[in-house]
């Protein structure tokens, strides 16, 4: 509460007149909310994100999706500080073009992931405040998900949630896709239709309890036939 700042360290009331230079901290970061999720299947990958851009208790935009298409087989989801998300995706796009011109072929998902890790670590001491998840198809056509932390540590996963509601979504995915903490349940492989249904349901739940997630859900489904986009409305309050 405000009143506690009236007391100095020794318990006596602080002076009201100006006593000297006061340090005002400027933070270069701000948190713009948003949740991203990626699921890898046998021959498909799904990257989904909500479309709400917020700051503090206000909403900047209800239509700001966080999935960005990189190549025909790869989509990246970035949430966190929107300024860094935009810059990072521009840098990745530029590097993709450079690679294409030098090597005469598109970057594969694994290569993009490795490159992103290097880009992020290059800013180890003033990080990009972005939680990245890459979803796409690998060289063999199987679904691949790579999840990152803000400074470039990454690993290949089957499913991953990142962003503000990640702590709520990840356990649900562990249970429904990874069959964790369940006994006597048949381990059926995940079909594309079931995966899309699961992603929609999981975001509806996240929007119920996380204030930064809502408005709409953008789903990008990556298959060998290309990238299909779907938008589903979520809670707007």
Partner 1 sequence: MALSNVVETPASGFNFENVCRNVALEGLLQGGQTKAPKPMKTGTTIAGVLCKNGVVLGADTRATSGEVVADKMCAKIHYISPNIYCCGAGTAADTEKTTDLLSSNLTIFSMNSGRNPRVVMAVNILQDMLFRYRGQIGASLILGGVDCTGNHLYKVGPYGSIDNVPYLAMGSGDLAALGILEDRFKADMEMEEAKELVRDAIHSGIMSDLGSGNNIDICVITKQGVDYIRPYQESEYKDKRQRRYKYRPGTTSILTEKIVPLELEVVQETVQRMDTA
201 binds partner 1 (CB under 8 A): yes
Stretch that binds partner 1, among 42-50, 67-75, 139-147, 178-186 (CB under 8 A): 178-186
237 binds partner 1 (CB under 8 A): yes
Q: Which of 4, 19, 27, 102 binds partner 1 (CB under 8 A)?
A: 4
- Three-state DSSP state, 69: strand
Stretch that binds partner 1, among 51-59, 70-78, 107-115, 140-148 (CB under 8 A): 51-59
Whether residue 86 contacts residue 70, with contact meaning beta carbons closer than 8 Å, is answered with: no
29 binds partner 1 (CB under 8 A): no
HSE-up of residue 136 (Cα within 13 Å, Cβ side): 24
Contacts of residue 27, defined as CB under 8 A and 6 or more positions apart, other chains included, come to: none
Q: Which helix (H) or strand (E) holds 207?
A: helix 192-209
How far, in Å, are 38, 193, 200, 229 from residue 196 at the CA level?
11, 5, 6, 11
Whether residue 66 contacts residue 49, with contact meaning beta carbons closer than 8 Å, is answered with: yes
Q: Which lies closer to partner 1 via its Cβ, residue 7 or residue 121?
A: 7
Whether residue 132 contacts residue 76, with contact meaning beta carbons closer than 8 Å, is answered with: yes
Q: Which of 63, 197, 224, 228 binds partner 1 (CB under 8 A)?
A: 197
Stretch that binds partner 1, among 4-12, 78-86, 132-140, 220-228 (CB under 8 A): 4-12
Site for partner 1 in 148-167 (CB under 8 A): 164
Contact residues for partner 1, defined by CB under 8 A: 1-4, 7, 11, 54, 57-59, 164, 176, 181-185, 194, 197-198, 200-201, 204-205, 207-212, 234-237
């Amino acid at each position: 509460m405000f009143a506690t700042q009236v007391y100095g360290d020794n318990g006596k009331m602080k002076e009201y007149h100006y006593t000297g230079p006061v340090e005002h901290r400027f933070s270069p970061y701000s948190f713009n909310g948003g949740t991203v999720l990626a699921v890898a299947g046998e021959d498909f990958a799904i990257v989904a994100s909500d479309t709400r851009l917020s700051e503090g208790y206000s909403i900047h935009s209800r239509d700001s999706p966080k999935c960005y298409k990189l190549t025909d087989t790869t989509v990246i989801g970035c949430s966190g500080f929107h300024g860094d998300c935009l810059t990072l995706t521009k840098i990745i796009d530029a590097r993709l073009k450079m690679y294409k011109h030098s090597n005469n072929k598109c970057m594969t998902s694994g290569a993009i992931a490795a490159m992103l890790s290097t880009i992020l670590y290059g800013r180890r001491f003033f990080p990009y405040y972005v939680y990245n998840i890459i979803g796409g198809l690998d060289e063999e056509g199987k679904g691949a998900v790579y999840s990152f932390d803000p400074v470039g540590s990454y690993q290949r996963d089957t499913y991953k949630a990142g962003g503000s509601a990640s702590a709520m979504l990840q356990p649900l995915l562990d249970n429904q896709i990874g069959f964790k903490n369940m006994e006597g349940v048949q381990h059926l492989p995940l079909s594309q239709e079931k995966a899309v249904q699961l992603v929609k349901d999981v975001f509806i739940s996240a929007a119920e309890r996380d204030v930064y997630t809502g408005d709409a859900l953008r789903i990008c489904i990556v298959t060998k036939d290309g990238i299909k986009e779907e938008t589903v409305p979520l809670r707007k309050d």
